[in-house]
Each structure stands twice: as structure tokens, then as C-alpha cells.
Chain A
Amino acid sequence: MKRRETLKLISLSSLGLVGLNPQVIAAEQLAAPEVPVKAGNGRQEFEAVRDAKLKADKFFTPQELLTVTVLTDIIIPADAKSKSASEVGVPAFIEFMMKDQPAHQTPMRGGLNWLNNKSTKLFGQPFVKCSRGQQIALVDQIAYPGLAKPEMVQGVAFFNMMRNLTASGYFSSKEGVADIGYVGNKPNQWDGVPADVLKQYGLTGEE
């Protein structure tokens, strides 16, 4: 085992987190350091100060964050190729965006309250307390804009926002970039479209 992985395990167990639901771990690890963007690292001073303040602030309550975490993993679960949304830090990204662009705050907080209100009406408890089957039954009513009932349209708008934020956060993460297959952002020589690709599309390169 590599030293770094050993350290990771030690730090997790020392926090008493081993054995907990991975979503809870992800939610509680919001404060985990991410790659810092410091002044003098391509940042203007006011940006560095602002970023530091935003990172220190909290927007979501623990309950809200847990709900966001569950939703992001419903939207982008782990599969054979890559990890789930919460495993690559999407909830923390969404938390940051709420503070960075406050226009998101009311639709997000209101949307979460809408969801919990609906779930309480339907199942007698807030969304995260519901069974997986109940969660999916509710999500199914707001995840398909063309099929949703009129009384669900606010939920559709909320879920669209959540889907878009999740995709942004997921595919812009290191793991998401690997999943989508972007292989640039490094010195390269560009000599045109590869020959096999030209052939696949019936092109010569001299169009």
C-alpha cells in the first residue's frame, strides 16, 4: 500500500469515520482541504481574500448537506467506470457555489424545503429519512420535465438545477475529467485530425 493511502486510512479511522455511510463521510468532510488558489497563483488579491472568506463561511445546514449529497449520488452514481458524485467532492463544490453566486441560494434552499415538504406529505418524513425506494419514487416525479404533473413543476425546476450543478461539479473534477476522456491541457503538437478519425467520418482533411 502506498504511504499516502495508508495516511488516508489512518486519518479516517482516527476521526472515527470508518464504517459510516460514505455519504455521511463526504458530507462531514466539507472542510477537507482542496487545491488552494492563493494570491500570487494567478489570483488577484481581492479574489484570494474573497475565496478564503467564502471557504470559511457555511451555507448548508448538516441536514441540507446530507440531502444534497443523497441527491447528487442519485444523479451521478458510481458505475463500472468511475465513482459517484459525492465521492469526488460534488457536495462541497455545490456548497461553495451557493456562497460564490448567492442567486443560487433561494432556489436551492427553497427547493430542498419543497422536497422535504413533499416527502413528508407522501411518506411522513423528510427526504433523507425515506427509504431508497421512496426517494426514487419522489425523484421520478421531478426528474423528467416532459412527464411531470403540474403540481410538481417547482420540483422539476429544482431537480434541473441540481442535475446541472452535479454535472458541472462531477465532470470538472479530476476523476470526472478522466471519465469523460479529456486528454488535453498539456503541451502538444497539433497536426490535424488523426487519420483513423478522418476515415471514420469520410473526410480527407482537405475539405
Chain B
Amino acid sequence: MDAFQIKKTAKVYDVVIVGSGAGGGMAAYMLSKAGANVLLLEAGGFYDPADPKYITQLKWAYESPRRGAGTTRPFGDFDAAWGGWQIDGEPYTVDPGTEFHWFRSRMLGGRTNHWGRISLRFAPNDFKRKTLTGVGEDWPIGYDDIAPYYDEVDKLIGVFGSKENLPNEPDGIFLPPPKPRLHELMLKKAAKGIGIPVIPSRLSILTKPINKDRGSCFYCSQCSRGCMVYADFSASSVLVNPALKTGKVTLINNAMVREVLTDEKTGKATGVSYVNKINLQEVAVQAKVVVLAASACESARLLLNSKSSRFPQGLANSSGVIGKYLNDSTGASRGAFVPALMDRKRYNEDGVGGMHVFTPWWLDNKKLDFPRGYHIEYWGGMGMPAYGFGSGIENLNGIIPGRDGKIKPAGGYGANLKDDYRRFYGAYVGMAGRGEPVPLESNYCEIDPNTVDKYGIPVLRFHYKWSDYEVKQAKHMQDTFEEIIHSMGGIALGKKPGPENNYGLEAPGKIIHEVGTVRMGNDPQTSALNGYQQAHDVKNLFVVDAGAFPSQGDKNVTWTILACSMRTSEYIIEQVKQNNI
């Protein structure tokens, strides 16, 4: 087969969707249920966590020769993400003096397969950042526009939580939350004692069955491995599967989309061109509507690579805004040892995948020296021992009295050391802040003029630096972590991060919450999409991933991707019915 001949398919689909994660999965679900003929293109392979071929859930560390170490998967050998910050043959570049790490999951369902299932709604104020604080940008829509879709997503997918009536953390339609684990009760008591709220977490995990297609949680704590009974949300299990069952969806895996095709005369999108990664055949497919959901940066890359004489700056980019305002959550963390938890009674406290409690943002930024908030996630407890277990004990066992009450020299070996591992098991806790950054025009991705991937597609070059806003926020996180740790009688581990390392602020991209690169807005001069995530310049082109979001709140964005994609899908159906696109 001549790879350089482009195969043109005759069929014209109603919609082609690029990407099968939260945004693309929801669009495929909504549009196929409405009767559209959908072509769903996914750059990675097929994946179904109920198929033994793919199951890693309930495996023991010793079933991995590296005992679960993250050599080929950044979050460990059993993690469900196929991909990572580096993918062989799919490079990206970074401008000197700046930093960005781009995580990609090449698989059906994308990054929803391994995510933390943290499912928070944006609050009304999250849509009005510029108006309220003078920095950042307002959304073209508000909470009232999106609230009905949050409700529908809650019912369709399922999320547990508790009614709290917090202005910054709107309540949803919740399943019952799991009770806290022991360390979580201790954290809660300690934090509340110093005025920091701790409430049940809000995760898209079924603590009760919601339909016949999905089971309910059996408390193995391994959502990040994918769930064989579909008790957690991943786009593959919960959205793409039922979409495929409609018979209206053609799914093509290993389809790496190169560009969006357009008609020079009408300026409308006519389909996309992709590389079949297995045989390197180039294929052009036709559709009446093109929906991009390839992830914030991948969708920006696609549009920037879709240049033509009519769209010389890339498609939907007359504003020049595509790629700009890239922003990832801030992140900083601290671990602690809790002597009161030594020599614990053993019992199964796996629970759901992730934390049972968290701290929503609780302060008023007007009284602080940084403009945006953060929430705190917690971990700890008696987890499955795996690679890394007991590491660094030499930093700890010299400051904790032995069974005889005496301090002994740190490190050591033999029966005494073996006993230390037993005593210390389950006595560690940790906490991490996840905060909202201020989106800046100076943080961006663009096409690198000198580099292509192995399919010959020009790659992204990143340019990203944290501002003072984020560094000050990280400082506040570190101070807060120490207060909580001290309040619970814990010993903070390691040296407290300070100005020498930006207070432990993780590099951009490390939290994997990037948004903003194809942002929506009312003004076509400063935004690429309108409030329905429809391109200002191309009426039949939509972007339903987080690239469309002008900001990300101190919330993880997945629930908002889902709600917005559902809303956009309804809009597409309505516009098609009215012959507007």
C-alpha cells in the first residue's frame, strides 16, 4: 500500500468526533442517542476494563516484576493510563527557560481511565473572574447556563457527596458518600480545630447502583486501574459503550488526526484527515459537523496545523488566540508521619479509589496576597505495599522512640529494622493543594517549525512560566499543610519547601489539568469559540474539551467538560434541526 496516497471515503457522516475522553465521549453519547451518524476517532487503542485482556484491577504488586513501579506507566505498573508525559515517536518541545509537561493517554476514554474521579462543579464566581478580581477572564456563560447540565451529568454518571450549602462548592445530586477512614477522621478533627473545613469528597464512583449496565463500588480503592464492573466514571465504560450500542457510532481506534479539512469557498469544515497508526495509511473522512475533543493542547495543535489560504493562521484562529492562555492547576504537597497511628490494628480500609474527605477552598482572596484559591486532597492509610514501600526509613526511625521508649540511631538493619516497618505501616498521611492559576497570554503552545512526530505531523512547542500569583499560593499551601500536620500531632516529612524551589510548586503540566488553549468568549477578537463552544469563524466546528475554558477554578475540570459537552451537543442537535449549520 502506498502510504502517501490519501484514501478518501465516500460516506458523509453527520458528525465526526476527534477524541473519546470526557468531552468526546459525552458528545458521542448525546449525538448518537439523538440519532446522528457519528464517526468517533481515537488516537489510541481499544480499551474495556471489563475485558480480562485489559484488567489490572485486583492484581497484587508481586504480579508485576517491578512490583508496581512506574517505569513504563508514570502512575505505576497497574495504572490504566496508556501513555504518559513522554510517548515514543510523539515528541513535543519546550522553549528554553520555560517548562511544560504534556501528559497524553492514547486509549479509548483517554485520561478519564486513570483520573482521580474528583467531580466538582464550578461555582457562580468561577465564571466571572475578571469582573470580580480584575485579573483573568470572564466566561461567556454563567452558572445558571450550566447548572441544568451539571444536574443531568450527576444523574447520568453518578457522583457521591454531601449537601453543604457552600457558595464556592455548589451541591449536586449526590449518592451517599463513604465514611471517612481513620486517618481522615484525624485530619478532619485537626483541620476543623484550626478553622479549615473538611467535607466528604465528591467522586464519580457509584456507592449505589444507578442502572443495570453498571455495578456498584466494591471498595478496592483502585479506580485508577479502571473498574471491571464500571462502578466509576470513565468515558469508555460509561459513555462510549452505550453510544456504540445505539448502532449509530463508528469507532475507529489508532486514528491520529492530522488536520481538519475545509471547503475553500464556503469556509466550512468538511471532515478530517487522519493517519491510521497501524498501517500508516492517510485517510480523509467527510462529515457535516466536526467536533474536536482531542484534549486542550491536542485540539489547539490540530487547529493550528489546519492551515489553508483561507485560514492562514490555522483554522478558527482569526483572533490569533489559539494556543494562548494555556493553564494547568497548581500543585504542591507535603507528607507527614503520625506517631499516634503506629502499631495500628489491621483491617481492610481500602475504601473507594482516592480520598473520602477533602478541603474545599475556604478563604477570601481579597484578604490574601494572591488572587485565586485551592482545594486540599488527602491520602494515607493501610494501602497495598508496592515498589517504594519503606523507602527513606533512615530519615524517620532515628527520631521515633523504639518499643523500649528509647531513641536509637537512624537507619540500621536486621530484626529491629524489620519491626520498624511493621510499626510504621499505615502511619503516614499526605496532603496536596490543587489551585487555580491566573491564565496568561504569555503561557502558550504553538507549532514548532522544526519538528514533526513520526507521522509527519508538526508538533507543539510550549512556553510556560508560573507567575508570582501561583508561587504565593503555593507558599500559602505549605504553611497550611504544616498547620494541619502539627494540629494532628504529626511530624512533617522532609524539609519544608521554600522560595528556593517555589514552595514545592509542581512544574506546569504535572497536575494534568491543562485548559484554555481554544478559549470561548463573546468577542471574536479575543476568543476562538462562542458560548456554545462553536468556532466564531467556522459554524460547523466545535471544541468540547477543556481547551474551550477561559479558566479552571479551584476545581478539577472534568465535571465541567462533561456538562459543557452535553450542552454543546444539545445545541448542535438544535442547530442542525434549524438548518443553521
Contacts of A183 in B (CB 8 A): 346-348
Interface of B is mostly: loop
Determine the interface band of chain B, counting residues with CB < 8 A from chain A. 35 or more
Q: Taking the nearest CB of chain B, how far is it from the CB of A90, in angstroms?
A: 10
Cβ contact within 8 Å between A42 and B417? no
Cβ contact within 8 Å between B394 and A160? yes
**In the assembled complex, A194 has its CB within 8 A of some CB on chain B:** yes
Distance in angstroms between the alpha carbons of A156 and B66 in the assembled complex = 24
Pick the residue among B78, B221, B411 that contacts A163 (CB under 8 A).
B411
Cβ contact within 8 Å between A177 and B347? no
Distance in angstroms between the alpha carbons of A145 and B242 in the assembled complex = 58
Known pairs A159-B411, A188-B220, A207-B192; A174 contacts B347 (CB<8 A) = no
Known pairs A143-B412, A177-B60; A184 contacts B425 (CB<8 A) = no
Cβ contact within 8 Å between B218 and A167? no
What are 23 inter-chain pairs, A to B, with CB distance below 8 A? A34-B62, A76-B417, A76-B418, A79-B418, A101-B66, A143-B412, A164-B390, A164-B392, A167-B391, A169-B67, A174-B62, A180-B422, A181-B346, A183-B346, A184-B221, A185-B60, A187-B218, A188-B218, A188-B220, A193-B180, A194-B347, A196-B345, A207-B185
Cβ contact within 8 Å between B349 and A190? yes
Residues on B facing A (Cβ under 8 Å): 52-56, 58-69, 71-72, 78, 82, 178-182, 185-186, 188-189, 192, 218-221, 340, 344-352, 382-394, 398, 409-415, 417-418, 421-422, 425
In chain A, positions 163-186 with a C-beta closer than 8 Å to chain B are 163-164, 167-169, 171-174, 176-177, 179-186
Given A168-B390, A168-B391, A184-B350, 12 other A-B contacts at CB below 8 A? A42-B56, A156-B411, A159-B411, A169-B67, A172-B67, A172-B389, A177-B385, A185-B384, A188-B219, A190-B351, A201-B182, A203-B186
Residues on A facing B (Cβ under 8 Å): 34-35, 37, 40-42, 44, 46-47, 50-51, 54-55, 74-77, 79, 93, 96-97, 100-101, 139, 143-147, 156, 159-160, 163-164, 167-169, 171-174, 176-177, 179-194, 196-198, 200-201, 203, 205, 207
Q: Taking the nearest CB of chain B, how far is it from the CB of A175, in angstroms?
A: 9
Of B179, B181, B385, B398, the most chain A CB neighbours within 10 A belong to B385
Cβ contact within 8 Å between A77 and B418? yes
Cβ contact within 8 Å between B350 and A193? no
Contacts of A180 in B (CB 8 A): 385, 421-422, 425
Cβ contact within 8 Å between A190 and B78? no
Cβ contact within 8 Å between A74 and B422? no
Cβ contact within 8 Å between B385 and A176? yes
Q: Taking the nearest CB of chain A, how far is it from the CB of B111, in angstroms?
A: 16
Of B65, B387, B413, B415, the most chain A CB neighbours within 10 A belong to B413
Q: Taking the nearest CB of chain B, how far is it from the CB of A52, in angstroms?
A: 10
Cβ contact within 8 Å between A97 and B394? no
Of A187, A189, A193, the most chain B CB neighbours within 10 A belong to A193
Distance in angstroms between the alpha carbons of A40 and B414 in the assembled complex = 40
Distance in angstroms between the alpha carbons of A187 and B220 in the assembled complex = 6
Q: Taking the nearest CB of chain A, how far is it from the CB of B90, in angstroms?
A: 14
Cβ contact within 8 Å between B389 and A188? no
